[in-house]
């Protein structure tokens, strides 16, 4: 009988520990989170470097690509238009390396996500209390589908676009086409693979040609050659420290004619075989928005 009672006591004790453990797990799982996702919008307004409406430059043509994925290197929430870059709430800063010489984004460590996929998830307790009006996100990599013309026919292909300030790339692939780089590549490097065809190529957009919209450039500029796109919340994001729900922030990026080239044949078709060169691959605006949710998904 004593042995039996002792066994029951051990069982109850084990169950007690289990309940405590479950409660702790539930507390962690229930902690409100900040969740950041991306959206790509072909109809969103097309902006220039200072956040003004922009048309395709004379002599150029452009198309709105079909986005597959994206990566960012830096994310910051800023309280006001006077908050200088780096002085807001820095939520994410990707890995950098000097393996290629000068300091560069380490593409091997970059997180690449598709539309609607979670890019960042951190406890809201890590975000300082206050009101946030602006979002700054430094974009690093884009992967999207474009249309190419050759010999009077249109073909589809996939383009990998590196728009960060400087990126160290060992190698990467596009649909089984391997690009061995093992060096730094400056902003504007790109590689292209024709769909269902072994043809591939790579190139470099002109220095300083990548558009980086910043509507508060007059009060809070960003460094030349960076890709820190700036956008304003429709309503300020207020953090009190008493949040009980997740906050999901969606960064809507304008891809409205964001792939631009200089035309040789004025037909609105990208024809690299005719010598047409890529001049701009920058995103054309950022509109951040947020909502609360109990669901991490």
Q: Looking at the structure, do residues 14 and 147 belong to the same domain, yes or no?
A: no
Q: Looking at the structure, do residues 149 and 11 belong to the same domain, yes or no?
A: no
Residue 156 is classified by DSSP as E
Q: Say whether pLDDT at 20 is over 60.
A: no
4 pLDDT tier (thresholds 50, 70, 90): very low
Q: Looking at the structure, do residues 23 and 128 belong to the same domain, yes or no?
A: no
pLDDT tens digits, residue range 81-93?
999 999 999 999 9
Question: What's the pLDDT at 2?
Answer: 40
Q: How far apart are CA 271 and CA 282, in angstroms?
A: 20
Q: Say whether pLDDT at 32 is over 60.
A: yes
Q: Could you give phi then psi for residue 157, rounded to 5 degrees?
A: -155, 175
7 pLDDT tier (thresholds 50, 70, 90): very low
Q: Say whether pLDDT at 10 is over 60.
A: no
Residue 56 is classified by DSSP as P
- Domain membership of residue 23 as a residue range: 1-30
Question: What's the pLDDT at 25?
Answer: 38
Q: Looking at the structure, do residues 11 and 115 belong to the same domain, yes or no?
A: no
Question: What's the pLDDT at 224?
Answer: 83
pLDDT tens digits, residue range 157-210?
999 999 999 999 999 999 999 999 999 999 999 999 999 999 999 999 999 899
Q: Looking at the structure, do residues 196 and 240 belong to the same domain, yes or no?
A: yes
**Mean pLDDT to the nearest integer, 272-288:** 95
For residues 235 and 130, the answer to whether their CB atoms sit within 8 Å is no
Question: What's the pLDDT at 293?
Answer: 81
Sort strands 246-254 and 153-162 into parallel, antiparallel or unpaired.
Answer: unpaired
Question: What's the pLDDT at 15?
Answer: 42
pLDDT tens digits, residue range 222-266?
988 889 999 999 999 999 999 999 999 999 999 999 999 999 999
Question: What's the pLDDT at 295?
Answer: 58
Question: What's the pLDDT at 29?
Answer: 55
Q: Looking at the structure, do residues 14 and 137 belong to the same domain, yes or no?
A: no
Q: Looking at the structure, do residues 24 and 103 belong to the same domain, yes or no?
A: no
Q: Say whether pLDDT at 64 is over 70.
A: yes
Question: What's the pLDDT at 226?
Answer: 86
Q: Looking at the structure, do residues 122 and 24 belong to the same domain, yes or no?
A: no
Q: How far apart are CA 62 and CA 42, in angstroms?
A: 12
**Mean pLDDT to the nearest integer, 128-154:** 96
Question: What's the pLDDT at 186?
Answer: 96
Q: Looking at the structure, do residues 194 and 116 belong to the same domain, yes or no?
A: yes
Cβ neighbors of 251 (< 8 A, separation 6 or more) are 36, 37, 38, 39, 135, 137, 231, 286, 288
Average pLDDT, the chain: 90
Q: Say whether pLDDT at 1 is over 90.
A: no
**Mean pLDDT to the nearest integer, 275-282:** 95
Q: Say whether pLDDT at 98 is over 70.
A: yes
Q: Looking at the structure, do residues 246 and 111 belong to the same domain, yes or no?
A: yes
14 pLDDT tier (thresholds 50, 70, 90): very low
Q: Which of 60, 65, 64, 62 is nearest to 266 (CA)?
A: 60
- Cα three-residue angle 177-179-181, rounded to 5 degrees: 175
Q: Say whether pLDDT at 27 is over 50.
A: no
Q: Looking at the structure, do residues 204 and 149 belong to the same domain, yes or no?
A: yes
Q: Looking at the structure, do residues 23 and 91 belong to the same domain, yes or no?
A: no
| Structural domain count of the chain | 2
Question: What's the pLDDT at 225?
Answer: 83
Q: Tokens for 11?
A: 């069982």
Q: Say whether pLDDT at 13 is over 90.
A: no
Q: How far apart are CA 244 and CA 276, in angstroms?
A: 54
């Amino acid at each position: 009988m004593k042995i039996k009672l002792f066994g029951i006591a051990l069982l109850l004790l084990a169950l007690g520990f289990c309940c405590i453990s479950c409660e702790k797990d539930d507390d962690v799982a229930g902690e409100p989170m900040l969740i950041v996702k991306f959206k790509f919008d072909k109809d969103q307004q097309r902006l220039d470097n200072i956040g003004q409406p922009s048309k395709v430059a004379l002599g150029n043509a452009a198309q709105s690509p079909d986005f597959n994925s994206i990566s960012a290197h830096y994310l910051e929430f800023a309280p006001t238009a006077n908050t200088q870059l780096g002085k807001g709430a820095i939520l994410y800063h990707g890995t950098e390396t000097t393996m290629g010489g000068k300091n560069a984004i380490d593409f091997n460590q970059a997180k690449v996500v598709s539309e609607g996929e979670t890019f960042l998830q951190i406890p809201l307790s890590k975000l300082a209390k206050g009101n946030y009006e602006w979002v700054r996100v430094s974009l690093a990599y884009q992967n999207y589908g474009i249309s190419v013309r050759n010999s009077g026919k249109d073909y589809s292909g996939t383009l990998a676009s590196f728009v960060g300030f400087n990126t160290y790339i060992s190698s990467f692939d596009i649909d089984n086409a391997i690009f061995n780089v093992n060096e730094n590549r400056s902003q504007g490097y790109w590689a292209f693979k024709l769909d269902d065809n072994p043809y591939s190529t790579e190139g470099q957009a002109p220095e300083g040609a990548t558009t980086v919209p910043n509507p508060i450039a007059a009060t809070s500029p960003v460094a030349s050659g960076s890709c820190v796109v700036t956008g304003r919340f429709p309503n300020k994001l207020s953090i009190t420290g008493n949040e009980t729900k997740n906050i999901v922030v969606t960064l809507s990026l304008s891809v409205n004619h964001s792939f631009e080239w200089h035309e040789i044949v004025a037909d609105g078709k990208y024809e690299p075989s005719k010598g047409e060169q890529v001049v701009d691959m920058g995103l054309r605006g950022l509109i951040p928005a947020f909502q609360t949710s109990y669901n991490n998904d």
